[in-house]
């Protein structure tokens, strides 16, 4: 027993250090929820929390868990994020999983920021999935050019925060995106306000897998 206790203590300390380093990296590596391990080519969903602040990660992870259980998609949620960390983390994932396509998403403000990161870094992200938000190049891009970027917009039918009181905000932004060769797909969830669209997770998962299978 005298030998076992010190060894156990060392293992516990080492595990704590590894966990602390993982948090400092800003990426939360989820335990695999599927029976079979994901392949290295499984698509990656990089999800931004709404405000990028500590304490939001667990709620965000829980919201996406139904999709992670159903589909072969690697969900990554950074504990915190900012303008520098998101491209850095995405590049790290691209280096680690070169055969996987990376999609970025977020709800509400997280969705708007996800769009901005995707439009500014089309070499890192295959697509953007704003939830309760939409992509608008107005404040991000200056010169019209063609971007190889897929966009899936998901909003509630009653979400006037994202759609506007006249329900025209998304249509106006889509017309501006057309100048960059981007034609978003739109999912409107019946009866939903400005809330996380759990009912649309199945369609989101199928869209991601279809984009992963599509030829570049």
pLDDT band at 29 (very low <50, low <70, confident <90, very high): low
Rounded to whole angstroms, the Cα distance separating 169 from 29 reads 35
Contacts of 168 (CB under 8 A, 6+ apart): none
Measured from the Cβ of residue 184, the count of other Cβ atoms closer than 10 Å reads 21
pLDDT for the residue numbered 54: 81
Cα–Cα distance measured from residue 59 to residue 8, given in angstroms and rounded to the nearest whole number: 32
> Tens digit of pLDDT for each residue in 38-61?
999 999 999 999 988 888 999 999
Which domains can be identified in the chain, with CATH numbers? 42-213 (3.40.50.1820)
Confidence check: pLDDT of 15 > 50 = no
Lowest mean pLDDT among 24-33, 49-58, 140-149, 201-210: 24-33
Contact 183, 98 (CB under 8 A): no
- The more confidently predicted of residues 33 and 81 is 81
Return the closest-CA partner of residue 41 out of 92, 108, 94, 107: 94
Of 83 and 6, the one with more pLDDT:
83
Nearest to 115 by CA among 101, 102, 105: 105
The pLDDT of residue 145 is: 78
- pTM value? 0.84
Q: What is the pLDDT of residues 58-109, one digit of tens each?
A: 999 999 999 999 999 999 999 999 999 999 999 999 999 999 999 999 999 9
DSSP secondary structure code for residue 71 in this structure: S
Per-residue confidence (pLDDT) for residue 25, from 0 to 100:
46
- pLDDT at position 59: 94
DSSP state of 138: G
């Amino acid at each position: 027993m005298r030998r076992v206790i010190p060894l156990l203590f060392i293992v516990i300390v080492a595990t704590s250090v590894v966990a602390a380093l993982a948090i400092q990296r800003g990426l939360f590596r989820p335990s695999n929820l599927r029976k079979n391990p994901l392949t290295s080519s499984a698509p990656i969903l990089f999800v931004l929390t709404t405000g990028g602040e500590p304490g939001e990660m667990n709620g965000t992870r829980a919201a996406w868990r139904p999709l992670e259980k159903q589909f072969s998609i690697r969900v990554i949620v950074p504990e915190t994020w900012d303008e520098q960390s998101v491209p850095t983390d995405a590049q790290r994932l691209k280096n680690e999983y070169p055969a996987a396509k990376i999609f970025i998403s977020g709800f509400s403000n997280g969705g708007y920021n996800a769009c901005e990161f995707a439009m500014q870094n089309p070499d890192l992200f295959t697509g953007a999935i704003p939830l309760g938000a939409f992509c608008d190049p107005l404040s991000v891009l200056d010169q019209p050019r063609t971007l190889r970027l897929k966009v899936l917009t998901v909003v509630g039918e009653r979400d006037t925060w994202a759609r506007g009181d006249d329900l025209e905000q998304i249509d106006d932004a889509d017309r501006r995106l057309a100048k960059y060769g981007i034609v978003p797909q739109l999912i409107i969830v019946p009866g939903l306000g400005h809330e996380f669209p759990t009912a649309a997770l199945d369609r989101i998962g199928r869209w991601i897998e279809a984009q992963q299978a599509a030829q570049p």
